[in-house]
Structure 1
Amino acid sequence: MTQGQGESTASGRADHRGLPPVAGGALLAAAVVLTALNLRPAVTAVAPLLGSMQADLGVSATWAGVLTTLPTLCFAGAGLLAPRLAARLGLGRTISAALVALTLGLLARTVDGPHLVLAATLVACAGIALANVLLPVVIKASFPARVGLMTGVYTAALQGGGALGSAVTPALEEPLGGWPGALASWAAVSALALLLWWPAARRHGHSWAEALTPVRGGRSLLRNRLAWTVTLFFGFQSALAYIAMGWLAQVFIDSGVDKTTAGLLVGVTSLVGVPIALVVAPLAARSRAQSGWIAGLCGTGLTGAVGLTLAPAAQPLLWSLLLGVGLGVFALAVAVIALRTRTPEDTAQLSGMAQGLGYLIASAGPFLFGLLHDATDGWTVPWLLFLLIYAAQVTFGVLAGRPRYV
């Protein structure tokens, strides 16, 4: 079955439930994009400021490791709860609550204190996690004939937000009086997303309620081999992404690159993902299988990872560009969640499983990367771990890209 046929099937099922072929609209599409734009800066903005935070708060590298690991742990827990929470409260209300939590968490980081920073990060990331899982369900339910396109736009916004977080935040540190103000500035963007999301969501409550009703008593995917394949692909890809978001800036800084440039280089790795999400992901979604696309992107990124392992300061921009292409496979990791399912109900189940358990797997990545750095007082061994995870990502990505359904 081709991807177009799969979308037709999904669209047909949606019509049976009373949804029109294209149930979304310009306002909802804009709300999805602006919400997605907020789902990475809370994480990527921290990396280039991590040294300043450690010095100001007087904390150890272990604390920094916990801070970089918190997002994935939080994503795992909230990801597992998101489908059932949305079934009880509704998609619109749950994502609205997620944006409120994100805004409050970002603001709370303005108050000094290492424990409060961790707690506020936990709150903000809980909001991000809920939206991470549920926005693909919104796309599947409200844009059934445009899943590939809207997934590409959504992931482009994610990548763009990540790039802005790492590239812009260091420049805000001095004018805003230090790292707390620079990090808190992103609360204005999340508040704007909430103002746009609320009226857009109110117009779709009934159709979304129908789409999520079976989640309460639906079948479990825990014994489904394909669901585990997609989950492992998503988990290993996320481990690589959060290692890069959490530690790549510090790798460059330790190699002699200044803080602002290091933040820009990390931003480049995210920015490269925007055209991949907008162009490559929709093309791949139209293909019968996505395995070749996944292998091609990962192969390019592997070159950048090897360069960072051997000589990070030799060609930092080139390594960042190449690694960014590899990390751009995130767009396909998100896309296969919808492409390997036939209905919004299955998408909600698979999205919750892939992101919940996937982020649990991913949480070990940034923590182990930092732990190995502390143990060896260098970056070579941590990068070898990165390459090992990369091999696992390619393997499960190619398997997840084959045209099957859960």
Structure 2
Amino acid sequence: MTLHRRRNARDVKIATPTPPRGAWSAHPAGNSALASSRGTALVGTSLLVLGVALAAANLRPAVTSLASVLEQVRGSVGASHAWASALTALPALCFGAAGVLAPRLNRRFGLARAVGWALALLTAGLGLRVLDGAPAVLGGTLLACAGIALGNVLLPVVIKQSFPHRLGVVTGIYMGALAGGGALGAAVTPSLADATGSWRFALGVWALLGVAAVLLWSVGARHTEVVADQPPQPRRSLLGNRLAWTVTVFFGLQALVAYVIMGWLPEVLIDAGVDRTTAGLYLAICTLFGVPTGLLFPPLAVRMRSQSLLIAVLTLIGGLGIVGLLVAPSAAPLAWTVLAGFGMGVFPLVITVIALRTDDPADTASLSAMAQSLGYLIAACGPFLFGLLRGLTGGWTTSLVLVLLVTALQAIVGYAAGRPRTV
């Protein structure tokens, strides 16, 4: 009887495809808490769609633009590799805290103001980090990443509540703007730095995009009484559940590899002989893989009884890119970048796995909260250790070997997480 009931629950979930990267289910715990915290939604107008798109376009350039000129910034402010490592670890640390802070902001201010404050915080951070030396860069990046982290959680809630009948279309717009903004930050910033001779100008100009988002959001976001108040669903603790820990570690390992790539790939390529502008373009190409993988893999995964093989294959493809960067970085840097970007397609799969490894929405929320909060703490160690080892050894070999070992472990843990069972 229990087995029959679990199969039925699983069938229901598989019948509804999991949204791709950046969609409503990308943070089930945060979304559940946010959706039940107020009785208002935003009016789903075309202007709000533009506001969501422009806001999403701001959620990646703060990270990818800095990565593309990181060594210039570090040298200019006289900072160490340890400082640069801490800088690249900030996004993951902030993302781990967002699930706790975002519901409180929504309860206090409502969605319109909460998103507006997140965008304002992001814009202020982008402006602050180019004003002075190393402390300003670090502090400004922290503020910007805090705004990004809140936006990551809040914007999918806006999409779900305000566009329930156009969820796929608006989610696609959101994902495209998210990936496009990240790619633009990586591709354009080195050229701006070269053309102006100033990394401060090249980074600071992205604050203008933030200002535009704040202004458009303030005009387009209006509340309406359409969502009834609902008490949040009770959630059980999964800290003693072995499968929950497997999914959590899987989430943390894939995020660790992803943030190492986003934070350090340009510097690895530059040391291999690639010019800075081209290295930024390669990071942009890597970032753009989030669109096709997010659209393709989740619908495929939910139709499979086990996701283990798909997870392992994608992880190993990404591992081939790391091997290339380790063994012959100058031989085919574009090929290594493409392979690494393809391997980052594991992210939408881990989000799908969180839904498939649970039997009801309350467990999904609990598993998501555990996997993302603890997983991002694991992920934050990656960029920090990667840069720290570079500073200690004077080369990238040890750092890349570490990432390769993590990738191998990710394949093993991911294979286990993809097996058809529930918490």
TM-score between both structures, scaled by the size of structure 2: 0.80
1:77 aligns with 2:108: no
Aligned counterparts of 1:360 and 1:302: Cα–Cα separation in 2: 22
**In structure 2, distance between residues paired with 1:89 and 1:343:** 30
Q: Counterpart of 2:29?
A: none
Paired with 1:349 and 1:310, the residues of 2 have a C-alpha distance of 41
Residue 15 (structure 2) pairs with residue 5 (structure 1): yes
Q: Is the 8 A contact 2:319 2:408 kept in 1?
A: no
C-alpha deviation, 1:109, in angstroms? 1.8
Deviation at 1:51, TM superposition (A): 1.7
Q: In the alignment, which residue of structure 2 is the partner of 1:258?
A: 275
Q: Does 1:49 align with 2:82?
A: no
> Which residue number corresponds to residue 228 of structure 1?
245
Q: Quick one: which amino acid aligns to residue 259 of structure 2?
A: Y
Segments of structure 2 that go 5 or more residues without pairing to the other structure are 1-9, 19-23, 26-31
SS of the residue 1:214 aligns to: coil
- Once the two structures are overlaid, the 10-residue window that deviates more, 145-154 or 371-380, is 145-154
Amino acid of the structure 2 residue aligned with 1:105: G
How far does residue 346 in structure 1 lie from its aligned partner after superposition?
6.1
Q: Provide the residue aligned with 1:323 in structure 2.
A: 340
Give the aligned partner of residue 358 of structure 1. 375
Counterpart position of 2:7? none
- 8 Å CA contact retained: 1:83, 1:352: no
Counterpart residue number, 2:187: 167
Contact residue 235 and residue 365 of structure 2 kept, 8 A: no
* Equivalent residue, structure 2, for 1:367: 384
Q: Does 1:393 align with 2:423?
A: no
Change (3 A) 1:245 1:118: same
Which residue of structure 1 lines up, in the alignment, with residue 28 of structure 2? none
- Report SS of the residue matched to 1:46: helix
Match of 2:56 in 1: 36
Q: In structure 1, how many angstroms separate the alpha carbons of the residues matched to 2:305 and 2:161?
A: 22
What residue number does 2:139 align with? 119
Partner-residue secondary structure (3-state), 2:330? coil
Indicate the residue corresponding to 2:286 in structure 1: 269
Aligned to 1:300: 317
Match of 1:193 in 2: 213
Aligned residues of 1:253 and 1:262 also touching (Cα < 8 A)? yes
Query: Is the 1:39–1:158 contact (alpha carbons within 8 Å) kept by the matching residues of 2?
Result: yes
Is the CA contact 2:81–2:390 (under 8 Å) kept in the aligned structure 1? no
Q: Which amino acid aligns with 1:180?
A: R
**Cα offsets for 1:298-340 (capped at 9, x unmatched):** 2221211111111111110111111110012223334445555
More deviation, 28-37/386-395: 28-37
Match of 2:75, as an amino acid? Answer: A
SS at structure 2 position matched to 1:313: coil
Q: 1:194-242, CA deviations, whole angstroms, 9 ceiling, x for partnerless residues? A: 34445655346753x746x417x75445445554333322221111111
> 2:155, 2:367 → 1: CA distance?
13
How many pairs were matched up? 394
- Distance in 1 of aligned mates of 2:345 and 2:219: 32
Change (3 A) 1:261 1:344: same
Distance 1:199 1:349 in 2: 35
2:182–2:287 Cα contact (<8 Å) kept: yes
Give the match's secondary structure for 1:39: coil
What's the RMSD between the two structures over aligned residues?
3.5
Retained in 1: the 8 A contact 2:301–2:307? yes
Cross-structure match for 1:214: 232
Q: Secondary structure at the match of 1:76?
A: helix
Per-residue CA deviations over 1:316-372 (Å, capped at 9, x if unaligned) read 011111111001222333444555567777666554443322211111101111122
Match of 2:86 in 1: 66
Mapped to 1, the partners of 2:122 and 2:357 lie a distance apart of 30
**What SS class does the counterpart of residue 202 from structure 2 fall into?**
helix
The aligned amino acid for 1:5 is A
Aligned-partner Cα distance in 2 for 1:145–1:335:
22
Give the whole-Å Cα distance in 1 for the aligned partners of 2:212 and 2:422. 37
Q: Distance in 2 between matches of 1:56 and 1:392?
A: 37
Partner amino acid, structure 2, of 1:234: F
Contact 1:103 1:190 in 2 (8 A): yes
Query: How far apart, CA to CA, are the structure 1 residues paired with 2:421 and 2:223?
Result: 33
Residue identity opposite 2:256 in structure 1: A
Q: CA–CA distance in 1 between the matches of 2:224 and 2:236?
A: 25
Secondary structure of the corresponding residue to residue 107 of structure 1: helix
Residues 131-163 of structure 1, C-alpha deviation per residue, up to 9 Å, x if partnerless?
223444455556668877766664444333222
Q: Is the 8 A contact 1:152 1:279 kept in 2?
A: no
Counterpart Cα distance in 1 of 2:313 and 2:172: 18
8 Å Cα contact 2:130-2:136 kept in structure 1: no
Q: CA 1:350–1:145 in 2, change beyond 3 Å: closer, same or farther?
A: farther
Q: Does residue 284 in structure 1 map to residue 284 in structure 2?
A: no
Counterpart for residue 131 of structure 1: 151
With normalisation by structure 1, the TM-score equals 0.83
Deviation at 1:192, TM superposition (A): 3.1
Do the aligned residues in 1 keep the contact of 2:316 with 2:407 (CA within 8 Å)? Answer: no
Query: Which residue of 323, 331, 349 maps to 1:332?
Result: 349
Which runs of no fewer than 5 residues in structure 1 stay unpaired?
none
- Is the partner of 2:79 in helix, strand or coil? coil
